[in-house]
Amino acid sequence: MADDRLPVATYPETHTAPAAFARPCLDAALEESLMTEILVLYYSRKGSTAELARQVCRGIESIAGVTAKLRTVPPVSAENEGPAKPIPASGPPYATLEDLRQADGLILGSPTRFGNMAAPLKYFLDCTSSLWLSGALAGKPAGVFTSTQSMHGGQETTLLSMMMPLIHHGMYLVGIPYTERALNETRFGGSPYGASHVAGMQDDPVLADHEKTLAQALGRRVAALAERLRTP
């Protein structure tokens, strides 16, 4: 008598799924591994730097074969060095050293603190000595972006302060050239050293059109260089 029950799939002892089921997962994993990845790492208190980071990511992902990974860093306290919560209450996850090690490029962002990068980002970078010893970041492209309240609130020195650790790591610094039309026309943020935003005394996180354009341009330039460096 014929058995008219539906056939049941069986699996080997290794629990490896049949090829018909496993292939989509394998193809997705392979596709992800072939993508060039740019880490966009920032600290933001009022939202302006976070908005710049999102525009940078848009620029990165406009380059075929390149993906952006958005990460932030936890705040630091003068009272202790206790570990931060592993996951922030909102926004992207906190960065790890492994995120840096795996990335094909890096773009850092921070609001200004008296013409310097903010302490949380500086603290994170101060903990990257193991990557410096191994040369994990050497030969990879990098860029920077910032936000200030006032037009002359220390944007360029803040951008330069973020560049210093990247130079020590042996990274290739990428700026924004004046061939970008928006850099010649902007009346707010933007510089050849990197993307920026002038928030005003009300800490307005809404970016001007030229600021968006230049943040995207920075993302595109770092992504394009990372893709060229990674392609044999």
Give 197's Cβ-side CA count (13 Å radius). 33
pTM higher than the cut 0.75: yes
- How does pLDDT run across 100-118, given as a tens digit for each residue? 999 999 999 999 999 999 9
Measure the CA–CA gap between 192 and 130, rounded to whole angstroms: 31
SS3 category, 172 = strand
Element spanning 50, H or E: helix 48-60
**What residues does each domain of the chain span?**
36-75+86-230
Residue with the larger pLDDT of the pair 119 and 16: 119
Mean pLDDT of 1-7: 41
- How does pLDDT run across 177-226, given as a tens digit for each residue? 999 999 999 999 999 999 999 998 887 789 999 999 999 999 999 999 99
Measure the CA–CA gap between 75 and 56, rounded to whole angstroms: 22
Measure the CA–CA gap between 16 and 11, rounded to whole angstroms: 7
Please, which pLDDT band fits residue 34 given cuts at 50, 70 and 90? Answer: confident
Beta carbons of 182 and 190 less than 8 angstroms apart: yes
End-to-end CA distance of the chain: 62
CATH architecture, range 36-75+86-230: 3-Layer(aba) Sandwich (3.40)
143 is written with which tokens?
């860029």
Measure the CA–CA gap between 174 and 227, rounded to whole angstroms: 14
- How does pLDDT run across 123-154, given as a tens digit for each residue? 999 999 999 999 999 999 999 999 999 888 89
Q: Which of 69, 76, 53 is nearest to 127 (CA)?
A: 76
Residues belonging to the chain: 232
